Structure 1
Amino acid sequence: MSTVKEAVDVDVDVRTAYNQWTRFEDFPSFMEGVEEVRQLDDRHNHWTTKIGGVQREFDTEIVDQMPDDRITWRSVGGDTRQRGSVRFERLDGSHTRVELTMDVEPTGVAEKGADMLGVIDRRVKGDLRRFKDYIEQHGDTSDGWRGRIRPENPGAPA
């Protein structure tokens, strides 16, 4: 499994940054290769991606979510294996650090080769730069989901 960790400072307050990130269906606006994200319920999303000509569909489950602090998820079912966490750190009243950590297990020869060449790492970094541009251009996002999701088994690894 490959681990990618990247952070970006955005020129919006922590609430705005967090709210935008909870609008999963907006992800195709700033994430390369993401064609669609459908929110199924508070915990589950269905993803359609197309990367390097390979289309995949998979589901993710949010395992921990605390408003203005973090969202942690993992893939469920299917052949796409990933898990990750995004954290939001208030720098001051109008600046936030967004830190994304992802563990991805490439499947197939093309994906494994792309991973060895650093494609996944560059894609995540690009997605965060595009998120910065997106959130700074779109301003206030007051309609994010503010609920709390707690791990079902706090002692178990995510």
Structure 2
Amino acid sequence: MATIQHSIDVDVPAQTLFNHLTRFEDYGQFMDNVEHVERIDDTHLRWTTTMANRAVEWDSAVTTDDRQRRIAWQDTNGISNSGRLEVQAISEEASRVIFSLEIESGQFPGAMAGDTDAETSQHLTRSLAKLKSFAEGQGSDSGASCGMLRPGNFATAASTSGSPTEVLEDEPNESGPSANFGTRIGTRT
């Protein structure tokens, strides 16, 4: 399984960005080839995507939702994947989202048979660029977080089919810590 991590800076406050990211129903507006995300209950989602030019569905369980800065999920059937989003405040009016995805090569929405990890990474790069445009276009008029999980109703890593993806620390790049976009790909054995 490959672990792909990207980050992007967005010119909206951290809480506003986090609110956008907890509204999974909006993911079709910025995630490459995500057609629809349906909320099944407080902790479960059904994803409908396009992969290799055909519709693919899978379910996931939200395993972490601290309602402040991070949300994680794990597949429950279908495509084997897990992911984590973390939002960090850069200033009062800007934030960074770090997206970590653990997935089999070629299993990202929109992937074609034989896609490499680098091609999967490119799909994620485009999706985060669309997220930036989407969030900045919405501005701070984003409403409240949907709050997937309620107190006492948290899924644990032990109750899912795998372990949640660990957040990797941002590595400085040539542009320094204020770079607008960062990427990392690794393979887990």
Distance 1:52 1:157, change over 3 A: closer
- Note the residue ranges of structure 2 that are not aligned, 5 or more in a row: 165-189
Report whether the alignment pairs 1:152 with 2:152.
Answer: no
How many residue pairs match? The answer is: 155
Matches within 5 A, 1:6-155: 6-78=6-78, 80-106=79-105, 111=112, 113-116=114-117, 118-139=118-139, 140-146=141-147, 147=149, 150-152=154-156
Which whole-Å deviations, capped at 9, do the CAs of 1:106-147 have from their partners, x for residues lacking one?
A: 478x7551125x221000111111000000001121132235
Take 1:153 and 1:20, find their aligned partners in 2: how far apart are those partners?
24
Take 2:67 and 2:42, find their aligned partners in 1: how far apart are those partners?
13
Which structure: greater strand fraction?
Answer: 1
Q: TM-score, normalized by length of structure 1?
A: 0.88
**Could you say what the CA RMSD is over the residues aligned between the two structures, in angstroms?**
2.2
Distance 1:17 1:119, change over 3 A: same
- Note the residue ranges of structure 1 that are not aligned, 5 or more in a row: none
SS state at 2:114 partner: helix
Distance 1:75 1:157, change over 3 A: closer
The aligned amino acid for 2:102 is D
Distance 1:29 1:107, change over 3 A: closer
The aligned amino acid for 1:99 is I
Report if the CA contact (8 A) 1:45-1:60 is conserved.
Answer: yes
